[in-house]
Chain A
Amino acid sequence: GAVVSQHPSWVICKSGTSVKIECRSLDFQATTMFWYRQFPKQSLMLMATSNEGSKATYEQGVEKDKFLINHASLTLSTLTVTSAHPEDSSFYICSAVEGWGYEQYFGPGTRLTVT
């Protein structure tokens, strides 16, 4: 149980284009999903908290107009990196919380490379 998937697992895009990453909870309903970014040899950095049916809450310093988050259903949240630049190249990981628990179950991550 508690399986979270992400799609795509890796993506290469050109500078200036937009990329959408999907996060799905496969066997449970997730009222809350989180989006993280991780640079090499660094810990996870929380970008935003996504709640179904409401606007995402972004962490300080994260550009909400650049990283668009939509939590359309209890099993799907999407992160769109708009006008991507090479400095956006990173490992993007989502996590989901089942119901009103606290344990976060992580997706496998999406490695984004912007050329």
Chain B
Amino acid sequence: QKEVEQNSGPLSVPEGAIASLNCTYSDRGSQSFFWYRQYSGKSPELIMFIYSNGDKEDGRFTAQLNKASQYVSLLIRDSQPSDSATYLCAVHGSSNTGKLIFGQGTTLQVKP
């Protein structure tokens, strides 16, 4: 079992719709969770991080964390073609090394 799992996609949504990206992790002691966006040929860009159970909203983005289910998600409202990218879920595990464990990423396609 991979430490951080994401559906590789592609996830295709129409413009204006809500895109839902999901991620599960295996280390129950994980404390911090991050979502990065990566455009083709570019490096990852931090979108959001979440530490506590529940929802965290930032503009069109909402991160949701459920530690009991070891599940973290990212919702993108009013999806735009410019949101088309690969979204990486990253987890800061319980080892306290500062390392992030990345999922394989989900490719999102927003169609006009």
Contacts and interface: CB of A to CB of B under 8 A. Distances in A.
The DSSP consensus for interface residues of chain B is: strand
B98 A44 contact: no
Contacts of B46: 103-106
Q: How large is the interface on A (under 10, 10 to 19, 20 to 34, 35 or more residues)?
A: 10 to 19
Interface in A70-115: 91, 93, 97, 102-109
Contact of A104 (B97, B100, B103, B104): B100
A93 B43 contact: yes
Interface string B66-100: 00000000000000000000001010100001111
Instruction: Tell me the dominant secondary structure on chain A's binding face.
Output: strand
A104 B51 CA distance: 15
Nearest to A32: B98
B43 A102 contact: no
Contacts of B97: 49, 57
Given A108-B43, A109-B42, A43 B49 contact: no
Interface of A: 32, 34, 42-44, 46, 49, 57, 91, 93, 97, 102-109
20 contacts: A34-B98, A34-B99, A43-B104, A44-B88, A49-B97, A49-B99, A91-B43, A93-B43, A97-B98, A102-B98, A103-B49, A104-B34, A104-B46, A106-B36, A106-B43, A106-B44, A106-B45, A108-B42, A109-B42, A109-B43
